[in-house]
Chain A
Amino acid sequence: MNKQDYQFYISGAIKLGVSFGIVSLLARWVTGNTILSSPETLLKYGMVGGIGYSLMGALSLILFGMVAKRIRQSFPHHLTIGDVLRQKLNPSGYWYMICILLITSLDSIFVQAMGAAILLHIVFPIPIYLGMLLFLFVCFLIGGMGGMQRIHQLASVNVTLIFAAVIIIPVYFYIQNGVHPVFEGIKLYHPYLLYFQNTDAMLFIMTAILIGFGQVIIDRSTWQRVFLLKPAKVQLTFTLAGFIWMTIPLALSSLLMIIIYSGSYDNITSLLFELINRIQTTLFVFLFILFCFSAISAAISSELQATTVLIVRNILQVFLSLTNRDKWNLTYLTSGFICVLLLVVVSIFSPSLLELLFFFGHMYASLIIPMLYIILSKGPIHSIIPFSSLIGMIGGYAFISVVGNFTAIWISFFISGTLCSIVWIYTIFNNHFNK
């Protein structure tokens, strides 16, 4: 493929097999959220919550693998989620979905950037904005300018660092200190973690799976990878990626035990990064910092690349007739702009990551059935399908104060699901009687 061609930026030059496909998906999905939210979950819902968080990611990827197989078969010549939406939806539905994608994209990158900012604050004694400027510049070079090719070149390094850290550090610590002091410490300071019968956690796990699947099914960068995988290997790749991904939050939860067993904690969000102060060996501190930066930078680079592609290919190109050169220039401008925006936003806001995840949970949950409808349906799609997610979202938010956040997320899911089912039945009857 010609390197000047814009398709090179979107897809790179290679088709992915199972192994490299898994590496690419792991580099995308081991994110700041994984590092920061999984400990938060463990502390809020105990060990069941920790296992539930791992299950959430694994099941989301495995379930999406089943859909991805169909996507690859039904749309063999497309490159992005926007291409598919453009083919299947009418203009109003298309623009609505693009807006949703844009909002979720920016939210997702913002969460990663937050993670990076917290880490920078803990590790380096320099102002956050300066550290973030440097960090985002690296992400801009990888995802914004390098495109898929560069992301894939670094994916193996990222995954190697991730596994090196989550394997070596817990093994080293538990061999050196044993499990007993950790158990006694947790029993003393955080006994609630050791209870398994936690009904809240079950609802949390089920809701988290729903949100996780919603997140994956509208993730631009994951869709790009679906189109990069060899058709026969799509489902297997996602299934194995799900299982392998599951091992990482599990290992992180064992790391968290090391941090909290000797006392209380101040800040739940930055808890895992406290590990830096607990590890005695400089090499392991260095490895842990590298792991965190590597995971977050890989996720931001992938998100940045996918969001830029969404803006240039699926928004700007609809209005403007662009040459390859124009597309490249607009790509640099767009990704640069997103990085500057992130720098500003991260300096101003600091919400809880898990809260943010569940705030956008309504959006993710209400999008599942409409997206499945778009992917699985063969004929033209009724214009209400994409908008059913909006109705679901509004319905969910309206019930938050009455039934609580988790149940409201399920309400969002059921409202959009019911609307889609009604449209589906109506379409079947309509087609039947028109014949």
Chain B
Amino acid sequence: MISLESFSIYIILCVLAPLIGAFTLLFLFIFEKRIDLIEKEKKEIAIERELQMALYNQLNQEIQPHFLFNTLNSILSLARLDRKKELVYSIETFSKLLKFKYQTNTNNITVNDELTYIKYYLEIQKTRFRDRLFYEIEADEDVHQALIIPFLIQTLVENAFKHSFEKHIGEAFLKVTVKKCSQSIQVTVWNSANNQAIDDYNEVGIGLENIKARLHLFYSKETTSINLLISETGTTVVAVFPYITKE
């Protein structure tokens, strides 16, 4: 049989328990919004920092001097050959590309904007690669206004040039597909380089890890994925993330 002391402790516990429960509830009512706000701010800061890092990487690594010099040389050759129309078009496209690159500082942009930027980039590469380069961009009608993290497709396309097309001679095929699958968006970037051509997996891996980290900051881990598939017919990167529109 329990003693008076134990009984008293039991009663104190029973009497105090609902007080603790009520205080917990009250605490949640008062502070839940603030906690949410702090978490949101924390996440936003992390995203912002990640974006800055991504931009930094873009500017330091991806607009590499050799890309800049090659592009300028291509433009110079157009001037020397007096192909004025093509020259004007190239300078104009190059200017738009740089403008987009330096002005994008939001956390997300529309797929449409990202694809426009890719087109500028590919147009410039076309002046360099000329008849060697064939590219195709396909996007479902309803994905144009969907949101995407900036430079996601761009990183994948630049990887294709950096690790495949620039390293071997011959025809270069590139296909970008953006489609909606249920409540997700699937971005597929395929290039014709086979596994022999990719000689620096680590560097490709770092690029993909960067995208993966940025995707996880925006969406839950379960809803995103990024996969690199290498086959004899070419190299494919598939990125999947939730479908969210601007509204």
Interface residue ranges, A against B (CB under 8 Å): 17-19, 22-23, 47, 73, 76, 159, 163, 166-167, 170-171, 174, 179-180, 182-183, 186-187, 191, 194-196, 232, 240, 243-248, 250-251, 253-254, 257
The interface bits of chain B over 75-95 (1 if a CB of A lies within 8 angstroms of the residue's CB, else 0) are 000000000000000000000
| Complex: chain B residue closest to A73, CB-CB | B222
Interface residue ranges, B against A (CB under 8 Å): 1-2, 4, 7-8, 10-11, 13-15, 17-22, 24-25, 28-29, 32-33, 36, 183, 220, 222
Is B24 a contact partner of A167 (Cβ separation < 8 A)?
no
Closest CB pairs A-B (n = 6): A254-B14, A247-B17, A247-B21, A19-B28, A244-B21, A163-B22
Q: Can you give 24 contacting A-B residue pairs, CB < 8 Å?
A: A17-B36, A19-B32, A22-B25, A47-B2, A163-B22, A163-B25, A167-B22, A170-B15, A171-B15, A174-B15, A179-B4, A179-B8, A180-B4, A186-B7, A194-B7, A195-B2, A240-B28, A248-B18, A250-B17, A250-B18, A251-B14, A251-B18, A254-B15, A257-B11
Provide the bound-state CA to CA distance between A171 and B11, in Å.
Answer: 10
Is B11 a contact partner of A243 (Cβ separation < 8 A)?
no
Interface of A is mostly: helix
Most chain B CB neighbours (cut-off 10 Å) among A159, A166, A182, A253: A166
**Chain A residues in 8 Å Cβ range of B13:** 250
Is A179 a contact partner of B11 (Cβ separation < 8 A)?
yes
Given B11, B15, B21, B28, which contacts A248 in the complex, CB threshold below 8 Å? B21
**Chain A residues in 8 Å Cβ range of B10:** 47
**Chain B residues in 8 Å Cβ range of A171:** 15
**Chain A residues in 8 Å Cβ range of B28:** 18-19, 22, 240
**Chain B residues in 8 Å Cβ range of A246:** 17, 21
| Complex: chain B residue closest to A46, CB-CB | B2
Given A17, A194, A250, which contacts B14 in the complex, CB threshold below 8 Å? A250
Is A182 a contact partner of B1 (Cβ separation < 8 A)?
no
Q: How far is the CB of A295 from chain B (nearest CB, A)?
A: 13
**Chain A residues in 8 Å Cβ range of B36:** 17
Q: Given the known A-B contacts A18-B28, A19-B28, A194-B7, are A251 and B15 also in contact in the complex, defined by CB atoms under 8 Å?
A: yes
**Chain B residues in 8 Å Cβ range of A196:** 2
Q: How far is the CB of A43 from chain B (nearest CB, A)?
A: 15
**Chain A residues in 8 Å Cβ range of B29:** 19
**Chain B residues in 8 Å Cβ range of A179:** 4, 7-8, 11
Is A194 a contact partner of B15 (Cβ separation < 8 A)?
no
Is A251 a contact partner of B17 (Cβ separation < 8 A)?
yes
Q: How far is the CB of A171 from chain B (nearest CB, A)?
A: 6
Provide the bound-state CA to CA distance between A73 and B221, in Å.
Answer: 12
Given B4, B11, B18, which contacts A167 in the complex, CB threshold below 8 Å? B18
Provide the bound-state CA to CA distance between A353 and B32, in Å.
Answer: 38
**Chain B residues in 8 Å Cβ range of A257:** 11
| Complex: chain B residue closest to A167, CB-CB | B18
Is B2 a contact partner of A247 (Cβ separation < 8 A)?
no
Is A244 a contact partner of B24 (Cβ separation < 8 A)?
yes
**Chain A residues in 8 Å Cβ range of B21:** 163, 243-248
**Chain B residues in 8 Å Cβ range of A254:** 11, 14-15
**Chain B residues in 8 Å Cβ range of A76:** 183
Q: Given the known A-B contacts A23-B25, A247-B18, A251-B17, are A182 and B4 also in contact in the complex, defined by CB atoms under 8 Å?
A: no
| Complex: chain B residue closest to A252, CB-CB | B14
Q: How far is the CB of B39 from chain A (nearest CB, A)?
A: 9
Provide the bound-state CA to CA distance between A196 and B21, in Å.
Answer: 26
Q: How far is the CB of A349 from chain B (nearest CB, A)?
A: 33
Q: How far is the CB of B149 from chain A (nearest CB, A)?
A: 20
**Chain B residues in 8 Å Cβ range of A186:** 7
Q: How far is the CB of B9 from chain A (nearest CB, A)?
A: 10
**Chain A residues in 8 Å Cβ range of B1:** 187, 191, 194-195
Provide the bound-state CA to CA distance between A73 and B222, in Å.
Answer: 9
**Chain A residues in 8 Å Cβ range of B22:** 163, 167
| Complex: chain A residue closest to B32, CB-CB | A19
Provide the bound-state CA to CA distance between A251 and B33, in Å.
Answer: 30
Q: How far is the CB of B171 from chain A (nearest CB, A)?
A: 38
Most chain A CB neighbours (cut-off 10 Å) among B8, B28, B220, B222: B28
**Chain B residues in 8 Å Cβ range of A243:** 21, 24
Is A240 a contact partner of B11 (Cβ separation < 8 A)?
no
Q: How far is the CB of B42 from chain A (nearest CB, A)?
A: 14
Provide the bound-state CA to CA distance between A76 and B29, in Å.
Answer: 26
Provide the bound-state CA to CA distance between A254 and B22, in Å.
Answer: 17
